Structure 1
């Protein structure tokens, strides 16, 4: 039986433990929601202030050149690319995940229309993140294509039946289940389809190698495990064999081959740079750059291999402690136990009161989140979450049930963001 002393001993022996100090983490808070919004890197406030006061305040427009603002989408994109198996010059940090999906799905459908005219189906998982499905619905209506949704286990059998594009989120946002990217991409290609991967819950959390998996396109989020700050730029990757085939539909001036020629006719930039659109949000990009500094600080300690090992150890511990200490609370594990099938989160379902239970935990300083209709979701970011944190989270969960405090009226009121 695992004890609190066991958890403290594991923290003391953890080589990643010092990285916790790179983040602002309020006293009395156990933060298990970095899969939704990463915490503030300690260096970010000063770095953003410098960008505001010196680069913007003193440098003014000169800072597009002097401070390197203009090149930030590619420079920051390359930093992200090193964590997802991309090569230099293949990733740009830009726009939002939703906008980037619109770009790459449009390009993928254009390629399919040229190479396989009879393939007009976008295949996805029924429980894919809703924004991905909404974007796909809109594009399918625009292109007279079909969006077909199936359960995860039905995906391999559904490929090949006029499927043009397989669109999946690598780690499911509701369950934490992780797809086999290489196997499903291979199956998609064998059926004549292209594969687009949403890495929102993968980048910085689990090993990803886009080239090894032979993926076609990928998008992802900058403010979850990359700790870039609320609303910071997302990112986009295109396999080099596709990059110059089509222009994406949001043909803005930043995606022009030479933006400051100011020609009336659009001429797309070579490679992934054509997937840029309008002027980039510099201050948010600076925050993302700081988040990547914190992630890169893990490299001397083993990088992704060490982060993944600790993530699995934390999630194993959490699952075991919930079963050990909250076994009669009516909680059902929906996250896979198998390491190869699990991201960096643990999701528990409960038929009654899941939202209120999470609100009671948040009031106690244990911050996770709720996903409708019945999911309590806990994210484990090994850069700053420890083994004692995990013990404390389960202890508070146990107390919430034993005291019945989740039944209080104040915890029943729904907020706009859950």
Structure 2
């Protein structure tokens, strides 16, 4: 834990207050619409940035209501996908001109996997294998299977930690989650990228659970493609558009499987033949979803002046503190951390497995995760759960406080005992 977050008081409430007083990001909390609830589900849906409602009203009333079609040029609607992509880029360690916003995570995974397959096969026609993180979020696996069927490739699922060793002469693409959505484990992006490249393959990273929570460093690691959502730690709102990163050197060879009119070199030429545009704009497909896209653009202003290294330091301090307080409040044997304790392997969430001891050890049967989470919500603490018995708590450093973590741990102890 950094010196800034080193506790000096054995009393939990006093320690939480002391840590909050030292927190260099504490002033960002006022930029969000929050109530008395302890909200620890930002890994599923981030809180509402306070300035977004007024901006949306302006878009609807002025840009749509008055300017109407003129807003594509006069209000900058047409350039929004690239402009907002460049705003996200520093948060994922990318230079300008490599990130485009639009469509959903699933659609962008499909674009990236198929494009990576085509590039890899262009370099070596014998490559026909797609490696997929065995613990991947389900949609990534579904999309990989579909992309493989369409291209005549095969899919092999391997644990993310073994991806480097699994890549070989048949590997065309590896699709890996940077942070495991279920356990919160952080996978080694630079090492896996380097290993897949040594094997001659290409790599696609799903950074949905890391963008806005920790340094991602896509450029520095040499990542080929990356896909991320914007409604979690980036606080873009429900269903806000995802983003696609295409490394600059690969852009001339990026052949999208969804050649829509807005990625055409001359989109208003309305010619029958498709000619791709330049740069990251090749990742565009159809008409941008302007309302949600401009809400996202406004939401991203909360990141102005924020150092992602400070975000990471606070995230680790918050999760450390929460884990210690859970150990203090929850009866022995009832919950077990699934999230790694080592900082280098931890994202910005804590996942706890409901356990029990029905053999007479005193802990009793394992509590039901859904029952525990319902009891927590009744106590004003919001997290979520994944079957069969995983409790998940997402820590968003821009608005989560140490007092929140203390209150959540205390409530969790009560909920487990009653469950």
Q: Same fold (TM over 0.5)?
A: yes
Which aligned pairs between 1:11-410 and structure 2 lie closer than 5 A? 11-26=20-35, 28-296=36-304, 298-299=305-306, 303-328=307-332, 330-351=334-355, 352=366, 353-402=368-417, 404=418, 406=419
**Kept after mapping to 1: 8 A contact 2:180/2:186:** yes
Report deviation, 1:327. Answer: 4.1
Gaps of 5+ in 2: 1-9, 356-365
Kept in 2, the 8 Å contact 1:205–1:307? The answer is: yes
Is 1:255–1:276's contact at 8 Å kept on the other side of the alignment?
yes
- Equivalent pair of 2:384/2:393 in contact (CA under 8 Å): yes
Cα contact 2:325–2:406 (8 A) shared by 1: yes
Measure, in 2, the Cα distance between the counterparts of 1:203 and 1:105.
19
Q: Contact 2:236–2:295 (CA<8 Å) still a contact in 1?
A: yes
1:8 aligns with 2:23: no
In the alignment, structure 1 segments of 5+ residues that lack a partner are 407-418
SS at match of 1:34: coil
Asked if structure 2 preserves the Cα contact closer than 8 Å seen for 1:329 and 1:401, the reply is: no
Alignment partners' CA distance in 1, 2:11 and 2:263: 55
Is the contact made by 1:2 and 1:321 (CA closer than 8 Å) also made in structure 2?
no
Partner of 1:409: none
Aligned residue pair count? 399
3-state SS of paired residue (2:274): coil
Q: Check whether the contact 1:177–1:342 (CA below 8 A) recurs between aligned residues.
A: yes
Once residues 180 and 313 of structure 1 are traced to their aligned partners in structure 2, the CA distance between those partners, rounded to angstroms, is 20
| Cα distance in 1 between the residues matched to 2:104 and 2:303 | 21
Change (3 A) 1:184 1:163: same
* Shift of residue 401, structure 1, vs aligned partner: 2.3
CA shift for structure 1 position 2 = 4.7
Secondary structure of the residue aligned to 1:41 is coil
Any idea what the Cα deviations from partners look like across 1:257-313, whole Å, max 9, x if unmatched? 1111111211111121111000001110111112210122x52xxx11111111000
Query: How far apart are residue 24 of structure 1 and its match?
Result: 0.4
CA distance in 2 between counterparts of 1:204 and 1:29 reads 22
- More deviation in 9-18 or 225-234? 9-18
User: Contact 2:165/2:195 (CA < 8 Å) preserved in 1?
Assistant: no
Question: How far apart are 1:225 and its partner, in Å?
Answer: 0.6
Aligned equivalents of 1:246, 1:219: Cα separation in 2? 15
Give the whole-Å Cα distance in 2 for the aligned partners of 1:286 and 1:313.
Answer: 33
User: Contact 2:100–2:244 at 8 Å: present in 1 too?
Assistant: yes
1:132 deviates by: 0.5
Alignment RMSD: 1.2
Aligned with 2:66: secondary structure? Answer: coil
Aligned-partner SS, 1:236: strand
How big is the shift at 1:329? 5.0
SS at match of 2:131: strand
Secondary structure of 2:27's match?
helix
Contact map agreement 1:92 1:237 (CA 8 A) in 2? yes
SS state at 1:24 partner: coil
Q: Tell me the alpha carbon deviations over residues 315-354 of structure 1, each in whole angstroms, 9 at most, x when there is no partner.
A: 0001111112214251010101111111100000114301
Q: Normalization by structure 1: what TM-score?
A: 0.93
TM (normalized to structure 2)? 0.93
- CA-to-aligned-CA distance 1:211-259 (integer Å, 9 cap, x gap): 1101100110011111000001100011112111142011111111111
The change in CA–CA distance for 1:374 and 1:245 in structure 2 (over 3 A counts) is same
Other structure's SS at 1:340 match: helix
Q: Whole-Å Cα distance in 2 between the matches of residues 30 and 313 of structure 1?
A: 17
The whole-number CA distance in structure 2 between the counterparts of 1:126 and 1:77 is: 29
